[in-house]
Amino acid sequence: MHALILAAGLGTRLRPLTYAIAKPALPVAGEPIVRRIIRWLAVQGVTELVINLHYLPHTVTEIVGDGSDLGASVRYSWEYPEILGSGGGPRQALDILGEDTFLIVNGDTLTDLNLRGLIDAHTAADALVTLALVPNREPGKYGGVLMEDDGAVTRFVARHEAGDDSYHFIGVQVARAEAFRALPPRSPARSIGGLYDALIAARRGSVRGVVTEAEFFDIGTIEDYRRTTALWEKREAGRSPNRDTLS
């Protein structure tokens, strides 16, 4: 299994921290987020990786290189002159990935998700995209994913519409290249709120969800970053229970 790590974003909600460094390169308890993600993938056997880049790309390449010190092989998908988004980015990277099916991982999320369960669920279903989800316990903060009982995603809702019956996408998914090929090359596009909504409208079950008990840390805002960093510093100092697959 190959994976694409989405690392091209501008990190606007983390300014001023991201004025000089790309968000995935920010350190959490002394180690950059993107290196933690690569190690987590490699431990689970996902070692052929592509990272898409746009904003301050050198701050990522300088700390990752070819990924060999983390047990991975890393290549890069460059997005210029404009950022291509969560739909256009994977479209741009298809030829580099060279695979029909691959993982897509947000470059600002840490999780201990067991990838095998997600991959197996995707393989068993006739889906183009399978999202890793948890119950949406903060609908006032996060938008939601609505699903039918069989796992077919029916729609995505904004945070003011989300309720206790919605699920939260934790930034890890399995996708087929076919899901992105209809997009024009080098054109910006969104996945959720764009391409995936169109896939759902065209065929029920083309986008599916798998509900997990995974732990995850979203590092989208300054407050999220401070909270995550403090927790990880305590965890890695041995003052709280550790979940080894995250480290």
Whole-number mean pLDDT of the chain? 90
Is residue 114 in some structural domain? yes
Structural domain count of the chain: 1
Is residue 220 in some structural domain? yes
Tally the residues of the chain.
247
Question: Is the per-residue pLDDT at 242 higher than 60?
Answer: no
pLDDT of residue 247: 39
* Mean pLDDT confidence for 87-110: 95
Q: Write the CB contacts of 141 (distance below 8 Å, at least 6 apart in sequence).
A: 159
Is residue 246 in some structural domain? no
CA 73 to chain CA centroid, Å, is 18
Question: Is the per-residue pLDDT at 80 higher than 80?
Answer: yes
Question: Is the per-residue pLDDT at 244 higher than 80?
Answer: no
Is residue 245 in some structural domain? no
CA distance 67 to 78: 17
Is residue 144 in some structural domain? yes
CA distance 80 to 98: 21
Helices (H), 8-77: 33-43, 58-64
| Tokens 């070692």 -> residue | 47
In which domain, by residue range, is 148 found?
2-238
Is residue 72 in some structural domain? yes
Nearest to 51 by CA among 69, 37, 40, 70: 37
Is residue 54 in some structural domain? yes
CATH number of the domain at 219, please.
Answer: 3.90.550.10
Question: Is the per-residue pLDDT at 234 higher than 70?
Answer: yes
Is residue 207 in some structural domain? yes
